[in-house]
Structure 1
Amino acid sequence: MSRGTDPYVAGAMDRRIALAHEWDELVERVRRLGPRFASFLAPPRTQDFLSAVGDGTAVLINVARECHALLVTASGVTAVPLPGLSAAEIADRTERHLTALRRTDLAAQRVHHTQQRARVRKVPATYQAHHAAKIEMAEAQAELDRTLLPQLAWLWDTVAEPVLRALGSPARAGAEAGHRIWWCPTGLLSFLPLHAAGYHDGSGRTVLDRAVSSCVPTLRALARAARAPETEPAETDKLLVVAVQEADGMSPLPQVDEELRLLEDMFGPDRLTVLEGPNATREAVLGQLPQHRWAHFSCHGRQDPLAPSTGGLLLTDGVLGIKELGARAYNGDFAFLSACMTAAGGLSLSDEAITVGAALHYSGFRHVVAALWSIDADTATALTGDVFGSLTRGGRFRPQASAAAVTEAVIRLRNDSPAHPSRWAAFTHIGP
């Protein structure tokens, strides 16, 4: 110890050094337990990612002073400069995007509340308030679409088109022949629908028309899901349907009954377990999830960008939260979340992918279909029927084809209403 060193400071330094050595020894002991623990707390290896992407490409968007797209393919990693992208513009566009979404959600709540009041107090004033709320809702929806269309074009110009150009993607491919891409955005970019970027004017300059896309929370999660083996049919090859039409303080969901009928027709009673209404409790759902490799949630979803860990699915007895879903391990293959904001995360921890969809994916469901924002009831039902219809074609359920099925379904929705991306751009696939 030098002459001027405080004894207390020197003692604290010695303790820190001793604890660091103890930590290293404990980690090394864990790694010696067997092959499963050989990489415990070690940084991921590049070769793990290379094997996960197969013939496709994982695209990690690095947002910094100079932005790049890191293209991970089976042959290695390539950096593609994104000179048109900046952290400042991402922040500005994300703020505008979230403001438009918030306005739409508040307008929808006012429609529900004024409708409830008009049913109880049937006087001209309550009917007028409900009519005014519906007009406000229509205006908010139109403003959201006016915000989204230029956002999608900007995402194409600054991110998607440079990436596809580097990949040599064909001019027009469609879901069948397009490139296979896993988007892994970072920071505030994760709030924007990269998978739907483009000019949706019939020109084909869109990601939807040139690639089959998925979004992944991390490349490590993709590598883990890609390693999971395809198992033989088993007793857990059943679909769990969680159907909650009414939740406390929320407007009724008219699509729940229709989605349940569609799935009953496709799967039949022997391959279907239904938790409906009062039976759809948090305990019941958590008890049934390990018994099913496939799950469909038709209910309200909730997310707070300022407190993302409080988000979850609204069941009969409260919120089935992200923490509860992510705390368990499942051997699942497919989860369809016909619920709002199940792919939306938080502002303060935007790199942490704290979403309902990511929680199910991390905890063992290889393929997850989720939504970035609140979704229209009729559109959710149409997507449910389209995706499940495609995956059950031929009599066997094939979750491994879900990325292409979602892309094709979203293209059909887009083609029906290209000027209204709020209805179709929210849906995304998570997984290999």
Structure 2
Amino acid sequence: MSGPRPSRSSRSSSTGSGAPSPARCWTTSTGHGRRPAALPGAGHRRPRVWWCATGPLSGMPLHAASPLPDPARPADTSTAATDSVIDRVVSSYAPTLSVLAYSRDTTLGNAPKVLAVGLKNTPGQPKLAGACLEVDAVCRWAPDAMPLRDEEASRAAVLAGLRTHDWVHFAGLAAQDPSADDNGHLICHDHAAEGPLTTSDIADAQSASRSFLAYLAACDTARGRANLIDQAMHLAGGVQSAGFAHVVASFWPLQSTTSLLMTKTFYTYLEGRPVSHDTVARAADHAASAARESSPGRPSWWTSFHHMGP
């Protein structure tokens, strides 16, 4: 990451670091201060919902919205959690309806080609203790996956992998400057000599094919430009536009141990299940729920994690 933002391995756990609270999302968007009648009750198989937000809402974790407790009523811990959006629907995000419609036509073969990139030690950057452990989690789910760890994850090697794989997991560092005129980039091991991996590079690598999923376990991958908040002008949006039907991304910096937990939970959920658009979305939802249960007092640790796609 660039500038003074905290590293992925030592990020602030405070909700005061710019992350909107679940209650704020509820009162300003999904609930308007009350329980939305459209949300189904708890206990049923949760339906899918796609958020196609505009303006300032495009950077808010609407999937994590929950109501503020009513001071006029006694606390009821048995129902507190089930009033939140994540307990009632499985949320996904779509930058535009046309992108959503286009991505629904993408299919995955019976034997997906999986690329797993983990950068624990990147020269000149903070150490990411869990990055290679995320690669291990991917490889347990997909034993034939191609792993690239640390110095193996050069810019050229990652680009070559993007051309030949339809499922990519990147656990490392990304940079997104909201004031810059670009969509952000990924940082490979040899970035100092070869430069970053930009969305244009990814689009060129994907020009001849359509891929299924890009899991971006990196900071700020869905943090848009300050002057174009109404558009998906960020790394995740650029990756999806480049040809990936599904993108798992983060609105703001990830907490390292939580990122590892969500990766493990995501791939554990997929074990034994046929991979489809629906199972990918439910795996991401399952991972976010597990992180919430693990750190109930740290909403900023899990609310940034979200799924984009069909």
Give TM-score scaled by structure 1 length.
0.62
1:342-399 CA-partner distances (Å, limit 9, x unpaired):
11111111222122211221122111111111111111111001001111235x5555
Which of residues 51, 58, 61 is equivalent to 1:193?
61
2: CA distance, partners of 1:206 / 1:178? 12
**1:283, CA displacement in angstroms?**
2.1
**1:331, CA displacement in angstroms?**
2.0
SS in 1 for 2:266: helix
2:15 and 2:298 in contact (8 A); partners too: no
Amino acid of the residue matched to residue 202 of structure 2?
A: L
Amino acid of the residue matched to residue 160 of structure 1?
A: T
- Number of residue pairs the alignment of both structures matches: 293
SS in 1 for 2:168: strand
1:120-140 CA-partner distances (Å, limit 9, x unpaired):
xxxxxxxxxxxxxx8xx7xx5
2:156 is the alignment partner of 1:283: yes
2:142 is the alignment partner of 1:267: yes
The answer to which of 377-386 and 411-420 deviates more is 411-420
Q: How does 1:228-377 map to 2 (within 5 A)?
A: 228=106, 230-233=107-110, 237-268=112-143, 271-307=144-180, 309=182, 311-318=184-191, 319-327=196-204, 328-329=206-207, 330-377=209-256
SS in 2 for 1:352: coil
**Structure-2 change in CA distance of 1:411 and 1:316 (3 Å):** same
2:114 and 2:165 in contact (8 A); partners too: yes
Equivalence for 1:155: 25
Q: How does 1:55-74 map to 2 (within 5 A)?
A: none
2: CA distance, partners of 1:213 / 1:194? 8
1: CA distance, partners of 2:266 / 2:157? 26
2:26 is the alignment partner of 1:108: no
SS in 2 for 1:275: strand
1:255 and 1:377 in contact (8 A); partners too: yes
Radius of gyration: which is bigger? Answer: 1
Structure 1 gaps of 5+ residues are 1-101, 113-133
1:277-303 CA-partner distances (Å, limit 9, x unpaired):
222122222222121111100111111
SS in 2 for 1:261: helix
**Structure-2 change in CA distance of 1:341 and 1:107 (3 Å):** closer
User: Identity across aligned pairs (percent)?
Assistant: 30
**Structure-2 change in CA distance of 1:167 and 1:205 (3 Å):** closer
2:280 is the alignment partner of 1:410: no
How big is the alpha-carbon RMSD for the aligned residues of Structure 1 and Structure 2?
Answer: 2.8
**1:248, CA displacement in angstroms?**
3.4
Which of residues 290, 298, 306 is equivalent to 1:428?
306
| Greater helix share, structure number | 1
2:170 and 2:215 in contact (8 A); partners too: yes
**1:417, CA displacement in angstroms?**
2.0
2: CA distance, partners of 1:431 / 1:322? 17
**Structure-2 change in CA distance of 1:267 and 1:248 (3 Å):** same
2: CA distance, partners of 1:308 / 1:296? 26
SS in 2 for 1:290: helix
Structure 2 gaps of 5+ residues are 69-76
1: CA distance, partners of 2:83 / 2:46? 13
**Structure-2 change in CA distance of 1:348 and 1:162 (3 Å):** same
Equivalence for 2:89: 211
1:391 and 1:397 in contact (8 A); partners too: yes
2: CA distance, partners of 1:332 / 1:163? 40
Give TM-score scaled by structure 2 length.
0.84
SS in 1 for 2:58: helix
1: CA distance, partners of 2:5 / 2:139? 34
Equivalence for 1:57: none
**Structure-2 change in CA distance of 1:289 and 1:179 (3 Å):** same
Pick 1 or 2: higher relative contact order, CA cutoff 8 A, min separation 6: 2
